[in-house]
Structure 1
Amino acid sequence: MDPHTVCASACRHVDPDTKCENALLNKYDEYRSLYLSYLERCNEHDFDGMASFYTPTIKINDLPMNPKAVAAQFAPVTAAFPDWHWEARSIAIDGELIAVHFEVTGTHLGSFRGISATGRRVRIKQFTFYRLEDGKIAEVWDHADMDKALRQIEASEGSAPT
């Protein structure tokens, strides 16, 4: 979405000649840049770097956690799929909220949920909402289609993964 559209809709109550639009554009750019930096750490599997983007207590799907515990949740996935990669297909920013639609890919080269490495590639969708607080990620609501990833690695030889 064009940031000017975001600002125009967010500033309906304000005279267009005020500084509201510039302030919102700056905040939009700031949050987008912050998020893309975070996504780089994710794709590098840099858990300490990821944790530095979180508030001291962060809620993941409404469960309070500390930053190190949140980042550690990625370890089993990246151990099983060393090339696990999130590609942001769409990013929407509304105030302190960031919504992202991802395409996620990886190659199954380690044990995952009891399934030994198959060498199969997986491709799934993920949708995540983030709420920022003082420039840090304070809350995350996430849904990744891990059932689809399991179906893809369990697919028999010669069958098309679903």
Structure 2
Amino acid sequence: MQAWETREWFADFLDTLNRHDLDDLRGMLDPAVRRAHLPAGADAWIDDYADLLHGFPDWQWKRIQVLVEDDRLAVHLRAGGTHTGPFAHLAPTRTRVSIASFAMYRLERGRIVEASGTDDAAQIRAFLR
């Protein structure tokens, strides 16, 4: 993909995340996607995102910056939502959470094959304690 196509792909990816469309999200992930320090595979990614949405049904992502080089994206995002459902074994607190996320993605054939970054459950749980 050209850099502009990758940027458009990422805009579609964020839209998919913000619509909470797990079926479309699966189509953007390689079935064996590798995630740094997290279980690999699209099923694990979908399960983790579903858990986040269960705890934060209003969760939304906002793009701050996207850099594209060849098959890689470096992204800075803001994300947030209100903790109204169980999340990571924590009962709802009604706390509004807002996090910064920095991530690196590698794409092949329009799917994420590798991901690493800071948008993890530990960062979110820190707000809830």
Shift of 1:148: 4.4
Count residues with an aligned counterpart. Answer: 129
Identity percentage over the alignment?
A: 29
| Matched residue type, 1:98 | L
Map 1:73-112 → 2, pairs under 5 A: 73-112=48-87
- Is 1:70 aligned to residue 34 of structure 2? no
The residue aligned with 1:48 is 23
Q: 1:68 to 1:48 in 2, by over 3 A?
A: farther
Unmatched segments (≥5 aa) in structure 2: none
Unmatched segments (≥5 aa) in structure 1: 1-25, 155-162
Equivalent-residue separation in structure 1 for 2:37 and 2:79 (angstroms): 23
Shift of 1:62: 6.8
Superposed CA offset, 1:120-144 (max 9, x none): 1011111110001122211111212
Equivalent-residue separation in structure 2 for 1:62 and 1:110 (angstroms): 25
List 4+ stretches of structure 1 deviating above 3 A: 62-66, 145-148
Q: CA RMSD in A?
A: 2.0
TM-score with structure 2 length normalisation?
A: 0.88
Q: Which has the higher strand share?
A: 2
Shift of 1:95: 0.9
- Bigger RCO of structures 1 and 2 (CA < 8 A, at least 6 apart): 2
- Is 1:117 aligned to residue 87 of structure 2? no
Equivalent-residue separation in structure 2 for 1:62 and 1:148 (angstroms): 14
* Paired residue secondary structure (1:33): helix
The residue aligned with 2:32 is 57
